[in-house]
């Protein structure tokens, strides 16, 4: 069974600084997707970034980038120039690319990120 592990329950970062959130996963699949979702206090789940396992290049979305280490099964999220609006709970998630729309997401426990002004 696939598992996603986020071992840090909480982190804090100074505004404008950089922070890295860790995630490891376990799977026997060779092709899959990895995601980071943000859940702010409104509790609306927001997709931050997606990584396809067959792509060697790390995904980047503006201030958000990932360090994808497939052999180590590691998928960390780096947030640069942290902003107050980045304060939220962040979930790492995994999915296999099944044909059709049935593929389930497996979530980590999440990490609460606070941003100090």
Partner 1 sequence: GAVVSQHPSWVICKSGTSVKIECRSLDFQATTMFWYRQFPKQSLMLMATSNEGSKATYEQGVEKDKFLINHASLTLSTLTVTSAHPEDSSFYICSASQAGGHNEQFFGPGTRLTVL
> Which residues are near partner 1 by CB under 8 A?
33, 42-45, 47, 50, 89, 91, 95, 97-105, 107-110, 112
Q: How far apart are CA 44 and CA 53, in angstroms?
A: 26
- Residue whose CB is less far from partner 1, 33 or 64: 33
- Residue whose CB is less far from partner 1, 78 or 95: 95
Q: How far apart are CA 104 and CA 54, in angstroms?
A: 19
∠ Cα 14 50 47 (to 5°): 65
Tell the smallest beta-carbon distance from residue 18 to partner 1 (Å): 25
- Residue whose CB is less far from partner 1, 47 or 84: 47
User: 64: which strand partners?
Assistant: 61, 79
């Amino acid at each position: 069974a696939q598992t996603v592990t986020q071992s840090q329950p909480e982190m804090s970062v100074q505004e404008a600084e950089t922070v890295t959130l860790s995630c490891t996963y376990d799977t026997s699949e060779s092709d899959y997707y990895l995601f980071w979702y943000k859940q702010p206090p409104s509790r609306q789940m927001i997709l931050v970034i997606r990584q396809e396992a067959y792509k060697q290049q790390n995904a980047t979305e503006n201030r958000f980038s990932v360090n994808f280490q497939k052999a180590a099964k590691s998928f960390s999220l780096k947030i640069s120039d942290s902003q107050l609006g980045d304060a939220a709970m962040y979930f790492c998630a995994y999915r296999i690319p099944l044909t059709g729309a049935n593929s389930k997401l497996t979530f980590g426990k999440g990490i609460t990120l606070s941003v100090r002004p």
